Amino acid sequence: MDNNPPSYSPAPGPESGQPAGTKSPEAPQQIGWAAKLLLAAAVLQFAATIFSVLNIASAGYRAQVRAEIATLGLGGDIESLIDGSIVFATITAIALGIISILLYILIARYITLGATWARLVAGILAIMSLYQLTVLVMPGGIATVLQVLLGIAAVVLCYIKPGSTYFREMQIHKLRLKGKTN
């Protein structure tokens, strides 16, 4: 005697809100890895932001700002200019860090959903992030290097098979749901 209650899974159709024959493609494991790499890059971005703020608060950075202001030949209260520059740099580093972390999380989420735009934006951001490698400050630079490498690896996983096939199938699936293709 079977003690398991019968399970009910409505077939795709008008009652389920999904047209017949339009089952959503399943994301391959590779896409899950890509999302996890992007989330790991978000964690590393958090670490890189902390290192950046610590660097900005250092005496060495203060001396560097003082030297730059001196080469510009600016008069007036130099200490106020230095303080203002450090506050501006700190706020900028924190804001860019938060934006980057949120972008990593958002893109990871939409990549798992097969959004082509997320894959494209991730690729563009991966290319743009290569610039970060030119302005490294150690020890925070290690987190930055790892972050950039994880982002690039995630993008590569999205553009090679079976990831590329998944995005194509999701695009076709979405068009079918809109009734724009057979």
> Domain count of the chain?
1
- Decide if 2 is inside a domain: no
- Decide if 3 is inside a domain: no
- Decide if 140 is inside a domain: yes
Q: What is the pLDDT of residues 74-132, one digit of tens each?
A: 777 788 888 888 999 999 999 988 998 999 999 999 999 888 898 888 888 888 777 77
Q: What is the pLDDT of residues 135-154, one digit of tens each?
A: 666 666 777 788 888 988 99
- Decide if 115 is inside a domain: yes
pLDDT band at 14 (very low <50, low <70, confident <90, very high): very low
Q: What is the pLDDT of residues 45-83, one digit of tens each?
A: 898 888 889 888 999 889 988 888 888 877 777 888 888
Closest listed residue to residue 52, CA positions, set 7, 97, 111: 97
- Decide if 10 is inside a domain: no
- Decide if 86 is inside a domain: yes
Task: Yes or no: say if 47 and 113 are a contact pair by the CB < 8 Å rule.
Answer: no
- pTM here is 0.74
Domain range spanning residue 123? Answer: 29-177
- Decide if 14 is inside a domain: no
Query: Within 13 Å and on the Cβ side, how many CA atoms surround 180?
Result: 6
- Decide if 4 is inside a domain: no
